[in-house]
Structure 1
Amino acid sequence: MKKLLLGILLLCSVSAFAKEFTEVIEAPGKTADQLYSSAREWFAETFKSADDVLQMDDPVSGKLIGKGFDKVPIKAAGMIVEIKMQYTIKIFVKDGRFKYDIANIRVGELATSTLEEYELACSPEGAKKALIDAGMKNPGKKIIEKTASNNKINYPKFEEAIKNIVADLKIAMKGAEDDW
């Protein structure tokens, strides 16, 4: 249990940077209204309650901004645990194209670490800093190496989760024709 708490604690400390995932995607033949409707529907189907997630829902400017979260399974202390990943997702629509921007990505049960901080903790120096910030006075070389190694294994899982969100959004924005 101590190891599990230490593993989770490592996700909750280091210092801040900002990593974003953004792209403009062409959607030939789609109007801004159609794209907006698809984006709104995607929010409703992706999150338990789109109304709770959406912070801004402006059809006039073609802008949706939401705060979402996912649980990402990672290995910690020899076990698979689900760690919370929070993010802000913005979708902007115009005739024939849309843009998404996923930023403010934070990981850990308290969502206090950024994705960049977690990435830094993949190196021995970053892992040592994370352990010290988590309250370990003088972490040994073995725990530092083990922490960095686990972080290297787990970090790609967060990026993969973001890529899955993007892939799902792209499919929804292409939209099946509603010719029922």
Structure 2
Amino acid sequence: MKKLRLLLLTAFVAFTCSAQKPLSYTKVIQKEGMTAQQLYEASKNWFARTYVDSKAVMRDATPGKELTGKGKLVFSTNMMYSSIQGYIGYLIDIQFKDGRLKFTMSDFRHDPSHEAKYNNHMGVLVDSLPKDLKDIGIEGMNRKASYKYYFKNGVPLCEKQFNELSKSLEEFIDKRDETKDEW
């Protein structure tokens, strides 16, 4: 009985350790001397300046504590993978505490610009490519090759967008803090 329990525990640990997780990036930005409310207001202004229609992408469910928004990246492909050309949508979540904020981008999902004869929605980007794509619901030769291309090119694109947006937010808050009394 003990051997069976140990075997089941080992199988469970092996399964959970090898499971892919949806791609997500997080950065904590320290801003000493600023309250959570000041950081919230500055981040709300950053949303308005960063996105063309901030009201369409931003949801303000818990004012002063958290901001959530949606964005899209253009996902360009070469001629061979033109059926998956389109967009990668993502969520932004910003949480606030006195002196710091936590900036998270997650839920990177593919949306093709046109429908193909086969299912050309590549779904969620995961943090590592599994050995067998059936584990994440990708079946069929066209979809497997397309998902590998999507993963190989989409992950660096999402990471680049995260770095640009987090840097932009940090610089915006720094600039707002420096110039708030100089008018």
TM norm. shorter chain > 0.5 = yes
- Normalising by the smaller structure, the TM-score range is 0.5 to 0.7
Cα 1:89–1:149, aligned 2, differ >3 Å: closer, same or farther? closer
1:114 positional shift: 1.0
Q: How far does residue 83 in structure 1 lie from its aligned partner after superposition? A: 3.0
Q: Indicate the structure whose relative CO is greater, using CA pairs within 8 Å and at least 6 residues apart.
A: 1
Q: Which residue of 2 aligns with 1:88?
A: 91
SS in 2 for 1:114: coil
Alignment partner, residue 157 of structure 1: 157
2:63 to 49, 59, 73: 59
Give a deviation string over 1:54-106, Cα, whole Å, max 9, x none. Answer: 1225334x211112222244445288x96311111111112111111211111
Larger Rg: 2
Partner in structure 1 of residue 8 of structure 2: none
Structure 1: 5+ residue runs without aligned partners?
1-15
What percent of counterpart residues are identical? 23
Structure 2: tracts of 5 or more residues without a match: 1-19, 114-120
User: What number of residue pairs does the alignment pair up?
Assistant: 152
Pick aligned residue for 1:34 from 16, 25, 38 = 38
Higher strand share: 1
**Match status 1:171 vs 2:171:** yes
Asked if 1:113 corresponds to 2:123, the answer is: yes
Q: What is the deviation of 1:149? A: 6.5
Map residues 5-16 of structure 1 onto 2, 5 A cutoff: none
1:171 to partner: Cα distance: 1.7
How far did 1:17 drift? Answer: 3.6
Structure-2 residue corresponding to 1:22: 26
Contact 1:54 1:67 in 2 (8 A): yes
CA RMSD, Structure 1 to Structure 2 (Å):
3.5
CA distance in 2, matches of 1:78, 1:112: 12
TM-score by length of 1: 0.65
Q: Residue 175 of structure 1: SS of its match in structure 2? A: helix
What is the Cα deviation at residue 158 of structure 1?
Answer: 2.8
Secondary structure of the residue aligned to 1:116 is coil
The alpha-carbon deviation at position 151 of structure 1 amounts to: 5.2
